[in-house]
Amino acid sequence: MHIAILDAHPLNPGDLSWKPLEQLGTLSIYPRTAPSETYQRAKDADIVITNKVCFDRQLLEQLPKLRCIVVTATGYNVVDLEAATKHAIVVCNAPAYSTASVAQHVFALLLNISTHVADYAHGNRAGRWTSSPDFCYIEQPTIELAGKTLGIVGLGNIGSAVASIGHAMGMHIIALTGKDASALPRYVKKTDFDTLLQRSDIVSLHCPLTPDTRHLINPRTLARAKHGMILINTARGPLVDEQAVADALHSGQLAAFGADVLSQEPPKADNPLLSAPNAFITPHIAWATLEARQRLMQITIDNVRAFISGKPQNVVNK
């Protein structure tokens, strides 16, 4: 059994171990794989492990030996599922490994925006506090999250965790969700998208990227949003029209934007959000705590082992 890991570095930059996979077959480990290298590295593999390396219809047709693709992520849009199914290739993902870490990151962004922790810490390293005539100084207003309305778009595992944390902090929670209102926690009020935009002080995006949700946040929806709203995106970059968000930050329609994802990663240097005021961007690291990566590694190993045993798990193309 030949197992090829095509983009090993993000999951394991050196602090985890691939040894359990070595016991399951011949293992080829590639820190990164360019599109031009994918065929050569995958052509002899029975199982490939991928995160961002794409497998489209044309490529899958050239890989007759391939029997299983294990995606080291919850999302699996890097694989053409219809083509994989046609060629009897099992595709597995890693559900729910990063829920706590991503929810934590949502509030890391939100708390930094609301309290300016990083700005004050940087100022104090430059001597700002030591030169203050008073015991404290206020250069940027901070806000209290208790009592604010948090609108959540999508109540899957992560959205539900964000709702729970927001409730614990005293926030009012409203949500756009396909779930029945009777199935929601008592502190979550189901609403429509327009109402959510109009009422929310903070909106956090947790929906999948589909043709219907691409550029869900755009000039029209931003114009309908509450003035001075804070927007958080830790889901998928293309959920937002980045130029529209940058324009809303410049105009003040948005008070701030916190994101861990962009439409292109790494972004181009001229991405308008990188220079927009009150845009706080982290480099797609919400999923990458040590604990989350340990869980992801174990799920990946278990997926490979289950497939080899003839009982595949976490299959997304049944």
What local confidence, expressed as pLDDT, does residue 236 receive?
A: 95
Is there a contact between 189 and 171 (Cβ–Cβ < 8 Å)?
Answer: no
Is there a contact between 260 and 105 (Cβ–Cβ < 8 Å)?
Answer: yes
Q: Do both 92 and 112 map to the same domain?
A: no
Q: Do both 163 and 269 map to the same domain?
A: yes
Residue 29 phi/psi, 5° resolution? -120, 125
Q: Do both 68 and 176 map to the same domain?
A: no
Q: Do both 84 and 126 map to the same domain?
A: no
Pick from 216, 180, 168: which is nearest to 196 by CA?
216
Global pTM value = 0.93
Q: Do both 203 and 85 map to the same domain?
A: no
* Catalytic residue status for 291: no
| Rounded Cα distance, 95 and 76, in Å | 10
| Domain carrying residue 201 | 99-281
Stretch 232-258: mean pLDDT, rounded?
Answer: 98
Residue 255 pLDDT > 90: yes
Residue 59 within any structural domain of the chain? yes
| Rounded Cα distance, 272 and 241, in Å | 10
Q: Which of 236, 242, 293, 295 is catalytic?
A: 236
Residue 195 pLDDT > 90: yes
Stretch 157-169: mean pLDDT, rounded?
Answer: 98
Residue 7 within any structural domain of the chain? yes
Q: Do both 117 and 210 map to the same domain?
A: yes
Percent of the chain residues topping a pLDDT of 70? 100
Total domains in the fold of the chain: 2
What local confidence, expressed as pLDDT, does residue 318 receive?
A: 82
Minimum mean pLDDT range among 137-141, 192-196, 255-259: 137-141
What local confidence, expressed as pLDDT, does residue 24 receive?
A: 96
Residue 315 within any structural domain of the chain? no
Q: Do both 31 and 169 map to the same domain?
A: no
* Catalytic residue status for 2: no
| Rounded Cα distance, 51 and 287, in Å | 12
Bridging pattern class, strands 172-176 and 149-153 = parallel
What local confidence, expressed as pLDDT, does residue 225 receive?
A: 98
pLDDT digits (tens, 9 = 90+) for 17-40: 999 999 999 999 999 999 999 999
Residue 317 within any structural domain of the chain? no
Identify the CATH number of the domain in which residue 169 sits: 3.40.50.720
Mean per-residue pLDDT of the chain: 97
Residue 316 within any structural domain of the chain? no
Residue 136 within any structural domain of the chain? yes
Percent of the chain residues topping a pLDDT of 90? 98
Q: Do both 75 and 150 map to the same domain?
A: no
| Rounded Cα distance, 13 and 31, in Å | 8
Q: Which of 87, 128, 199, 284 is catalytic?
A: 284
Q: Do both 91 and 110 map to the same domain?
A: no
pLDDT digits (tens, 9 = 90+) for 47-94: 999 999 999 999 999 999 999 999 999 989 899 999 999 999 999 999
Q: Do both 144 and 173 map to the same domain?
A: yes
Residue 242 within any structural domain of the chain? yes
Q: Do both 275 and 178 map to the same domain?
A: yes
| Rounded Cα distance, 69 and 91, in Å | 5
Read off the tokens for 292: 């989350």
Q: Do both 107 and 251 map to the same domain?
A: yes
Residue 294 within any structural domain of the chain? yes
